[in-house]
Structure 1
Amino acid sequence: MEIKDLSPQILWSNFARLNAIPRASKQEEQVVAFIMEYGKHLGLETQRDAIGNVVIKKPASPGMEGRQTVILQSHLDMVHQKNGDTVFDFDTQGIEMYVDGDWVKAKGTTLGADNGIGVAAIMSVLADKELVHPAIEAMFTVDEETGMTGAMQLDPVNFSGTILLNLDTEEEDEITIGCAGGLDTNTKGNYTEVPLGDGFIGFEIRIRGLVGGHSGMDIHRGRGNANKLMNRLLYNAHQLFDIQLVGLDGGSLRNAIPRESRAQIAVPEKDKEKFIAFVETFTGVLKEEYHAIEMGLQVDLLPIAVPSLVMDPEYLSRLLKAVYAMPNGVFRMSPDISGLVEASTNLARVIVKEGVFITQSLQRSSVQSTKADVAAAVKAGFENIGCEVVQGGDYPGWRPDAGSVILQLILDLYKDHFTHTPKVGACHAGLECGILGAHFGKLDMISFGPTIRGAHSPDERVQISSVERFYNYLLHILREIPAK
């Protein structure tokens, strides 16, 4: 079955059209032009603000003019990530999708259901001439995945809505009324490269096959972080052998749990067999620790040419200790909402190359003070070895409003579409609602969506049956929006 033949056809057709367009964060020119043309083709008022966000306005259907105006919001960009052995050019190719039972998946890459399904749903609402609905302002934001700059720099003058429905939640049985804020920590250190002495051989170590995932929504699941595992391997090897570091490249995106890491090292030739045995034993330890989670974990050891330059040994010792000591994962659980991660940090990127040591990490929290606390812990560790630390991209969380009028409405309507009671709460991801709320002041906001698994990884998939339920639910909500 082809994607466009799934139900509801209008939504899946729009999703297929959207996924034919490259739309990496900060490179949304093509998809912005596509959405602009889409709105104009429908004969609707269509605008683009200075940063690239698009708003398309659809007047209320007859008899609905007295209802509150609704802002439907999703982001246009997607995370571009692929498996190491997948040949794919995100700059020129559209996502290659296929149906697997009740799921739509991509061939070796991220799928873009985050947040493409939300975008496709809004496109479908805009195109539906039979739909009963209030006045709608469709808000398509850019660069959500790498800093939320679209939401940050959004021009609120283009909107008059009093209710905002964000379509970026990834479990159909969850209604989100709050989210975490975030802060990026980027570090840079300079080290001296020194000539490698005689009697060494070269190896490349590869850690791969980890599950990865979203550094907010999946941070509590105990998944391996390739950067931390690589550092652990090197740290322990450093205690036993005179290893020298040539280079290292681990992770990819700031908001994804790292799945792969590669390090080039030199080892005394006399220790070759012992070192190989050490790596085999260490691999066994990792596989035992992560046997229930990381079934695809692999550690490869490959011979390479003997390098001429390596990192200054004294700096190597300090670097390995600093990365080992850096907090990673859950920092604090919420004392107020059971099961909610309050604060976390993810070591997303580690690069060692030609005299420069770089890290990128993202700290999240629903509480400003604990976000500052975990960010300070990361900063202090790297400053301690002389790194320059730059923290920025700070965005606010979204404080839950249990008295929300739209929350009560959608809870009442939920019973008409689903056989179970939804979970209402906050999430540890960084939704744009907190930023948008700061722009607009009083704005009644809710986030919901279909079931998406493995977001930000090549395992990303969206449940077909949940998409149909989600879309019908959205249409029902629009028909029941209260009066002004």
Structure 2
Amino acid sequence: MNSEIIQLEPTEIWSNFSKLNAVPRASKKEERVIAFIKNFGEQLKLETVVDHAGNVIIRKPATPGMDDRKMVVMQSHLDMVHQKNNDTIFDFDTQGIDMFIEGDWVKARGTTLGADNGLGVATIMAVLESADIEHPAIEALFTIDEETGMTGAFELKGGLLNGEILLNLDTEEDDEIGVGCAGGIDVTATKDYETEEKPENTIGFKITVKGLQGGHSGMDIHKGLGNANKIMTRLLFDGFENFGLRVQSFDGGSLRNAIPREAVALVVVDKMHRSSFQFEMKQQADQIKKELQAMEPELEIVLEENDATDQVMELGIQEGIIKALYAAQNGVYRMSADIPDLVETSNNIARVQINKGAIQIGCLTRSSVESSKIDLANSLRATFELVGCEVEFSGDYPGWTPNMNSPILKIMSKLYEELNGEKPNVAACHAGLECGILGQNYPDMDMVSFGPTIKGAHSPDERASISSVKKYWKFVLEILKNIPGK
């Protein structure tokens, strides 16, 4: 455990966050963290239940004098996004997160920090183990697999929870109270293809796109950040148009909910074009870097000679799939007509794998309007089906419709203003939160989302503000003291 981190105020949160971050907890690999939280509840001698999906529910009675208040569900997800820089040696399956302090920020060395949603989990742990915090009866709900499918929220059965108010601790700006979010759907295009002998008299090159910021494919999609898969596609398109470039392989991005930071392609061109190809690629790279300079100052596009294998993509398939990737929507598709500055619909071309006769392209399409979500998903489907791909929709989850008349929202807005001297930003977000899914089985539960300031979620630049966690903790304590009566 990092001794610097556990000494930060409030120690109740940071010490629990440090313990949590010592436990590997990738989405769909949550066995160890489920056991960790279950053991935590049992050691406190609190009622602890693990449901059939792996969600953990821990119940704590009200403190004296608070028995007449409504029961509160405090909810966060156990899994975290595992991302690292290419040059970082780190095994997420066996190692705990290596944290350090830089100014007002807690960061991780070369990996994601896990503040999303580890700080929420740590907050709930702090409330559960406290002996002096005033609170009503608490149901702590720790869900699994939020980041890659919302599985825990989908699988949580109706009737398990008795709480009337749900506090989701998964928002990433400390001045914001979330009241709505986007739904999402995974769009996956696949195709097998024939390989063929590379043309005679060719030379191999390795093209690498790296140094991009990456980020959350919902919360950061509007910022104009570079997408490594789209940049690589642009380079391959140009190389084919001007020099007959042939593709051996293309490997870019990783997780659907992370904007791709890196991509690598192996290609061949005719030896007679060697110098002119290198010159053209440098010009293209310089132009792209100039376009993205304001947002992506660390972008690198590297061209290196490389010993290519004998096999490349069949020509017609290569031309079709590169054009489809070029044409496919990436980024903001439509802004909300109802809520200023809110992205309504977007897509992230998150993962491209082309190698050894198989193509797989993974996208995450988001929208706060169900019909618009399906419209964009169908547009992507049509684009990839035109070049012979099979397209599958999966992981469909609903959005969360704002309730501006929420009683807990009114209480929290008043408390925030009293504590901070300004009104909170009451907003919907373009990320996916579990509230909309949980609301399907608990339609009468009053829900809001809030949390401390976290930047760069889903990327190795993820960082959590120390001063913000202090501010947020005071807010949590005031909310629990002011839960209304039954």
TM-score by length of 2: 0.99
Check whether the contact 1:244–1:311 (CA below 8 A) recurs between aligned residues.
yes
SS of the aligned residue for 2:222 comes to helix
Check whether the contact 1:202–1:306 (CA below 8 A) recurs between aligned residues.
yes
Partner letter of residue 295 of structure 2? I
Q: Could you say what the CA RMSD is over the residues aligned between the two structures, in angstroms?
A: 0.7
Shift of 1:305: 1.0
SS of the aligned residue for 2:401 comes to coil
Partner letter of residue 284 of structure 1? D
Partner letter of residue 369 of structure 2? V
Question: Equivalent of 2:153, from 144, 151, 176?
Answer: 151
Matches of 1:363 and 1:151, distance apart in 2: 19
Partner of 2:203: 201
What is the correspondence of 1:294-305 to structure 2 with a 5 Å cutoff? 294-305=296-307
Check whether the contact 2:266–2:308 (CA below 8 A) recurs between aligned residues.
no
Question: Equivalent of 1:362, from 364, 369, 393?
Answer: 364
- 2:71 matched to 1:44? no
Question: Equivalent of 1:345, from 347, 354, 366?
Answer: 347
SS of the aligned residue for 1:78 comes to coil
Deviation string for 1:64-100 (max 9, x for gaps)?
1111000000000000000010010000000000011
Partner of 1:465: 467
Partner of 2:291: 289
Shift of 1:425: 1.1
Partner of 2:227: 225
SS of the aligned residue for 1:98 comes to strand
Question: Equivalent of 1:77, from 47, 67, 79?
Answer: 79
Partner of 2:383: 381
Matches of 1:13 and 1:164, distance apart in 2: 24
Matches of 1:283 and 1:405, distance apart in 2: 53
Check whether the contact 1:266–1:307 (CA below 8 A) recurs between aligned residues.
no
Matches of 1:442 and 1:13, distance apart in 2: 35
Deviation string for 1:43-81 (max 9, x for gaps)?
100000001000000001111111100000000000000
Matches of 2:209 and 2:133, distance apart in 1: 51
Shift of 1:156: 2.9
Partner of 1:277: 279
Shift of 1:200: 0.3
After superposing the two structures, state which structure 1 stretch, 147-156 or 95-104, moved more.
147-156
Partner of 1:191: 193
Question: Equivalent of 1:334, from 330, 333, 336?
Answer: 336
Deviation string for 1:109-158 (max 9, x for gaps)?
00000000000000000011111110000000000000100100012322
Shift of 1:108: 0.4
Deviation string for 1:422-459 (max 9, x for gaps)?
11110000000000011111110000000000000000
Matched-pair identity in %:
54
Shift of 1:2: 0.2
Partner of 1:15: 17
Check whether the contact 1:200–1:306 (CA below 8 A) recurs between aligned residues.
no
Deviation string for 1:17-52 (max 9, x for gaps)?
000000000000000000000000011000000010
SS of the aligned residue for 1:470 comes to helix
SS of the aligned residue for 1:218 comes to coil
Q: How many residue pairs end up in the alignment? A: 484
Matches of 1:145 and 1:400, distance apart in 2: 22
Partner of 1:133: 135
Shift of 1:471: 1.0
Partner letter of residue 377 of structure 1? S
Partner letter of residue 65 of structure 1? D
Partner of 2:446: 444
Partner letter of residue 378 of structure 1? L
TM-score by length of 1: 0.99
After superposing the two structures, state which structure 1 stretch, 418-427 or 254-263, moved more.
418-427
Partner letter of residue 81 of structure 1? Q
Matches of 1:297 and 1:306, distance apart in 2: 25
Shift of 1:306: 3.1
Check whether the contact 2:106–2:466 (CA below 8 A) recurs between aligned residues.
yes
Matches of 2:265 and 2:108, distance apart in 1: 29
Deviation string for 1:260-293 (max 9, x for gaps)?
0000001101100001101110111011100100
Question: Equivalent of 2:400, from 390, 398, 401?
Answer: 398
Shift of 1:302: 1.5
Matches of 1:196 and 1:226, distance apart in 2: 26
Shift of 1:420: 2.6
Partner letter of residue 469 of structure 2? V
Matches of 1:26 and 1:57, distance apart in 2: 25
Partner of 1:312: 314
Check whether the contact 1:185–1:390 (CA below 8 A) recurs between aligned residues.
yes
Shift of 1:301: 1.0
Partner letter of residue 415 of structure 2? L
SS of the aligned residue for 1:12 comes to helix
Deviation string for 1:170-212 (max 9, x for gaps)?
0001110000000000110111100112100111100000011
SS of the aligned residue for 2:250 comes to strand
Partner of 2:244: 242
Partner of 2:216: 214
Matches of 1:101 and 1:414, distance apart in 2: 26
Partner letter of residue 310 of structure 1? V
SS of the aligned residue for 1:445 comes to strand
Matches of 1:241 and 1:319, distance apart in 2: 18
Check whether the contact 1:106–1:458 (CA below 8 A) recurs between aligned residues.
yes
Matches of 1:321 and 1:135, distance apart in 2: 57
Give 5+ residue unaligned stretches, structure 1: none
Partner of 2:64: 62
Shift of 1:314: 1.2
